[in-house]
Amino acid sequence: MTTFKTLVAASAGACLLALHAAPAAAQAAWPDKPVTLVVPYSAGGPTDVVARMLAIPMGKSLGQTVVVENTVGAGGTIAPARVAKAAPNGYTLLIHHMGMATAPALYKKLNYDPLKDFEYIGQVMDVPMTLLSRKDFPANNFRELLAHVKTHKDKVTLANAGVGAVSQLCGLLFMNQIGVQLTTVPYKGAGPALNDLMGGQVDLLCDQTTQTAPVIKDGNRVKVFGVTTPRRLPSLGDIPTLDEQGLKGFDVKVWHGVYAPKGTPPAVLEKLNTALRAALQDDMVKHRLAELSSEIAPPEKQTPEGLRTHLAAEIDKWGKVIRAAGVQAD
């Protein structure tokens, strides 16, 4: 005859099994609602372009809509802080460029730690940059540009997407190598900076090809003086590199990665990584990236470990550059 103690023990065991089974079942069903992909910069900017490019194919793979949300401010540090504090359930993600690596050196007080407060999903792509001017800028080639800025110096304005943005870092490196301090004009995002450049409100801008390639190919809205990679770009092959025009060693490429809050379950991270890698093989994405002169990250970097390793190396690299330049964002 079954005793009361036996019934209690059996009931307790069943409850314990149910408790263990519940999280596993929830992870198996994930996702059962839309996933939000947070962008630290304004709509229309280069990182936003990448996010919206990935959202549709990632959503198809996950079986849920991926919603792109722009959380702008503080040089791109508000969005990572928000995602770091989000519930670690895979429904709030971050896409960020190399600003994840430069923020620790730029900010004395940072509300998150890029190496401790996130799980890594994978690296997305490498994006070259271009040096542009307004259409009616006096110089017509790089030699004339150098002569003009060395003569007029701080009367020349150099736009950027805000403190800590890659466009700022590219501008800092440019000024350092030519030995001239220009007047920098920070914007709340690359989109507004490019709009003002095309409108003639500022003189120069160094920005990513995800944003600049279409206006360069248009041929009527800006002047372009060079690309920031050691080799010319296949889709912009007639534009020389800054390196070949005299700025030896000038090499700035922007990389993007996708992150989740620390503690996100491994099964969820695996699904997200699978969705990301599938998106990077999507024909539309590959075609669009080629149009924008961007390169998909190699397979070994599309992994969580690949992104983590690359981020750590970039934090070390850019930390030395920023500290040597004496740049501080706060």
Asked if residue 174 has pLDDT above 70, the reply is: yes
Asked if residue 10 has pLDDT above 70, the reply is: no
Quick check: 193 and 94 in contact, CB under 8 A? Answer: no
Angle, CA 127 vertex, CA 124 and CA 129 arms, to 5°: 160
Residue with structure tokens 């407060």? 117
Asked if residue 22 has pLDDT above 60, the reply is: no
Quick check: 51 and 68 in contact, CB under 8 A? Answer: yes
Confidence of residue 5 (pLDDT cuts 50, 70, 90): low
Residue 235 pLDDT:
84
Dist CA 328 CA 102 (whole Å): 11
C-alpha to C-alpha distances, 126 to 88, 269, 274, nearest whole angstrom: 27, 22, 19
Asked if residue 16 has pLDDT above 60, the reply is: no
Write out pLDDT tens, residues 58-88: 999 999 999 999 999 888 899 999 999 999 9
Residue 3 pLDDT:
56
Residue 13 pLDDT:
56
Give the list of residues 6+ apart from residue 87 with CB closer than 8 angstroms, or none.
261
Q: What is the 3-state secondary structure (H, E, C) of the chain?
A: CCCHHHHHHHHHHHHHHHHHHHHHHHHHHCCCCCEEEEECCCCCCHHHHHHHHHHHHHHHHHCCCEEEEECCCHHHCHHHHHHHHCCCCCCEEEEECCHHHHHHHHCCCCCCCCCCCEEEEEEEEEEEEEEEEECCCCCCCHHHHHHHHHHHHHHCEEEECCCCCHHHHHHHHHHHHHCCCCEEEECCCHHHHHHHHHCCCCCEEEEEHHHHHHHHHHCCCEEEEEECCCCCCHHHCCCCECCCCCCCCCCCEEEEEEEEECCCCHHHHHHHHHHHHHHHCCHHHHHHHHHCCCEECCHHHCCHHHHHHHHHHHHHHHHHHHHHHCCCCC
pLDDT above 90 as % of the chain: 66
Quick check: 281 and 117 in contact, CB under 8 A? Answer: no
| The token pair that represents 65 in the structure block | 């809509």
Mean pLDDT, rounded, of the chain? 90
Q: At residue 169, what are phi and psi to the nearest 5 degrees? A: -65, -40
Give the list of residues 6+ apart from residue 36 with CB closer than 8 angstroms, or none.
66, 67, 69, 91, 92, 93
Residue 312 pLDDT:
97
Report the DSSP beta bridge partners of residue 132.
205, 224
Confidence of residue 141 (pLDDT cuts 50, 70, 90): very high
Write out pLDDT tens, residues 276-308: 999 999 999 999 888 878 889 999 999 999 999
**Between these two residues, 319 and 7, which has the higher pLDDT value?**
319
Average pLDDT score over residue span 32-50: 92
pLDDT above 70 as % of the chain: 91
Dist CA 94 CA 89 (whole Å): 13
Residue 15 pLDDT:
54
Write out pLDDT tens, residues 187-232: 988 889 999 999 999 999 999 888 898 999 988 999 999 999 989 9
**Between these two residues, 143 and 253, which has the higher pLDDT value?**
143
Q: Any idea how long the chain is? A: 330
**Across 11-25, 50-64, 81-95, least confident range:** 11-25
Write out pLDDT tens, residues 241-257: 999 999 998 988 889 99
**Across 2-11, 137-146, 321-330, least confident range:** 2-11
Residue 243 pLDDT:
95
Write out pLDDT tens, residues 259-278: 999 999 999 999 999 999 99
Dist CA 329 CA 263 (whole Å): 29
Quick check: 212 and 186 in contact, CB under 8 A? Answer: no
| The token pair that represents 286 in the structure block | 């590959």
Write out pLDDT tens, residues 103-118: 999 998 899 999 999 9
Global confidence as pTM: 0.76
Taking alpha carbons only, the member of 211, 212, 145 closest to residue 180 is 145
Asked if residue 31 has pLDDT above 90, the reply is: yes
Q: At residue 53, what are phi and psi to the nearest 5 degrees? A: -65, -40
